[in-house]
């Protein structure tokens, strides 16, 4: 019998651990999000809006890797299970940090696990966590050139939110230039212009997320 060469993708240690995390999430039957953005892009506001909209239809938990997680207390006060991931001041989450934090949450009691990454458009793009969806948030005041300047982050997005649309009227934001940059990197990516402040566009984004959640819950049966 001849030797048949088998080409295997050699996963690095982080990717291997990310796969373990993914298996744990799948066993629990939950949908896991990795929420990434620049500092001040709106990660916490996006998460707060998801909680407001979906809390009566889904059991939501939040893990926070932001350097100083000032916002977790607010979620906890609403009865949302929260966990602070100790990044040691690091510039991104990795699969091991998430893995270490998993025992702090009852995953079987969750439908949706939201992991808030560190505010950074560069480093988090290089580290898979095991989540099902990379939610990347850009924001209007950051400028329409961001896809061109931070390509890895935009290339890796499963869904892209363009937040702070309420400020577009007061600035020169070239939506076509932004979208062209995104399409080149990540053709057909789900895209929602939103404003967490005014609520603009949130219905469409939440409907999309609700559909992903329903697929996950259906797969349990």
Interface residues with its own copies (CB under 8 A) are 38-41, 66-68, 70, 89, 91, 118-123, 139-143, 145-146, 148-152, 164, 166-167, 170-171, 197
In terms of CB distance, is 145 or 215 closer to its own copies?
A: 145
Closest approach, Cβ 87 to its own copies, in A, equals 10
Distance CA 33, CA 37 (A): 13
Closest approach, Cβ 192 to its own copies, in A, equals 19
**69 CB neighbour count, 10 Å cutoff:** 19
In terms of CB distance, is 24 or 168 closer to its own copies?
A: 168
3-state secondary structure of 30: coil
Closest approach, Cβ 183 to its own copies, in A, equals 17
Distance CA 36, CA 43 (A): 7
30, 109 contact by CB (below 8 A)? no
| Sole residue written with tokens 């259906």 | 218
DSSP state of 115: E
Closest approach, Cβ 171 to its own copies, in A, equals 7
In terms of CB distance, is 106 or 145 closer to its own copies?
A: 145
């Amino acid at each position: 019998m001849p030797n048949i060469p088998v080409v295997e993708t050699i996963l690095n240690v982080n990717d291997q651990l990310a796969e373990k995390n993914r298996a744990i999430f799948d066993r629990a039957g939950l949908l896991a999000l990795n929420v990434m953005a620049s500092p001040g892009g709106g990660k916490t506001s996006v998460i707060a809006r998801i909680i407001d909209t979906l809390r009566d239809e889904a059991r939501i938990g939040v893990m926070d890797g932001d350097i100083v997680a000032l916002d977790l207390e607010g979620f906890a006060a609403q009865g949302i299970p929260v966990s602070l991931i100790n990044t040691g001041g690091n510039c991104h989450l990795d699969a091991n940090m998430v893995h270490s934090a998993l025992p702090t949450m009852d995953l079987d009691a969750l439908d949706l696990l939201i992991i808030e990454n560190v505010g950074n458009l560069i480093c988090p793009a290089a580290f898979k966590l095991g989540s099902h969806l990379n939610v990347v948030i850009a924001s209007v005041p950051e400028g329409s050139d961001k896809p061109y300047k931070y390509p890895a982050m935009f290339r890796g997005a499963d869904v892209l939110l363009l937040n702070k649309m309420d400020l577009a009227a007061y600035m020169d934001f070239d939506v076509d230039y932004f979208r062209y940059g995104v399409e080149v990197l990540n053709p057909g990516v789900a895209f929602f212009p939103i404003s967490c402040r005014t609520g603009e566009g949130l219905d469409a984004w939440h409907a999309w997320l609700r559909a992903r959640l329903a697929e996950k819950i259906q797969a349990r049966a």
